Structure 1
Amino acid sequence: MTINIETKRLTMRQLSNEDWSLYYELQTDPEIIALCFDEPSEADVKAGFDSRLPNWTVDSEHWLCLVITEKESGNKVGVTGFNLVGGVAEMGYLLLPSFHGKGYATESLAALVAWSQDIGEINRYNAVVTKGNIASERVLEKCGFKLSTIEPNAYEIRGQLYDDHFYTL
């Protein structure tokens, strides 16, 4: 299945080998990961990258990972995608800091949700945001997600515990 999703300003296509440097930067840039996770080893980043490379279908057990690109410039903005298990799509997205605040996360997530509704296998969308990541919470809310649960002290980043905010659509 070839996946190409377009919005007014963006295109999205499945991750390929040529996207290694983008993926690595998204997984290791301190500004990007500050409220997401501890910096992983290069081996862990490579394993995550490799696991997302196979062609994705609704029966896949790996994440659908789409590279977001600006139509006008051709610049890679970041990635978005989901992992589909039992009719539930766990959503995720990471954007390069130079593209924060432009509405690209909201635009790409809304387009991904709309596209995925046509595949007919998804009953619910979930997303988890670490407390303090207000920009990601706003993206989810703009896309219709609602805060459903808060799990106190659920996730540790750099030795500090954070609440997890669970969003559902």
Structure 2
Amino acid sequence: MTQIADNDWELFESLYRDPAVISLCFDEPSAFEIKEKFESRLPMWSKTSENWLCLTMTVRETGEKIGITGFQLIDGVANVGYLILPQYHGLGFGTESLKALINWASNEQAITEFSAVVTEGNVGSEKVLVKCGFFLKTVVPNAYEIGGKLYADHIYCIENIVT
């Protein structure tokens, strides 16, 4: 995994436009919103950054970039997220990348708390989180609207990781 760069625009845009990727995450953003999100993730990240640490996932054998993962640090808690191209869903890349991200953040950045918000019905993402040691902390009913329908937010966390 490497921090996102200018030449990752095509991957980033496709992840934010593909219905199979975003259907259980959010409504498709406008072109302006996607570009704004992308540009906000380009500055070099440090532990004092307010921007997301956004890393591209790359298949070792082929060098193909298949998704993004990362987190935004808010009050010492890393709020994680990931998007993967649909042809790579269910193959373990989300779990592998999230475990590596948590390991790096814990060992190199002394981050001990992680959270994730998953939209109700996004079973694949929930399975990834559980495999990585997260537990369901709370459910917020009718918290998020996608396609005119309200969904609950499932809030997961890992606390007190020893570094």
> RMSD across aligned C-alpha pairs, in angstroms?
0.7
Give the one of 33, 39, 45 matched to 1:56: 45
Partner of 2:61: 72
- Aligned equivalents of 1:161, 1:89: Cα separation in 2: 26
Determine the structure 1 residue equivalent to 2:150.
Answer: 161
Over 3 Å off, 4+ runs = none
Count of aligned pairs:
158
1:149 partner letter: T
Q: Which amino acid aligns with 1:113?
A: I
1:93 is aligned to: 82
**Pairing 1:9-24 to 2, within 5 Å after superposition:** 12-24=1-13
- For residues 148-168 of structure 1, the C-alpha deviation after alignment (integer angstroms, 9 at most, x for no partner) is 000000000010000000000
Letter in 1 for 2:92: G
How far off is 1:121 after superposition? 4.1
Q: Contact 1:131–1:164 (CA<8 Å) still a contact in 2? A: yes
Match of 2:105 among 116, 120, 132: 116
1:119 Cα offset (Å): 3.0
Aligned mates of 1:147, 1:133 — CA distance in 2: 13
Structure 1: gaps spanning 5 or more residues:
1-11
Structure 2 portions without partners, runs of 5+: 159-163
1:118-133 matches, within 5 Å, as 118-133=107-122
SS at match of 1:140: helix
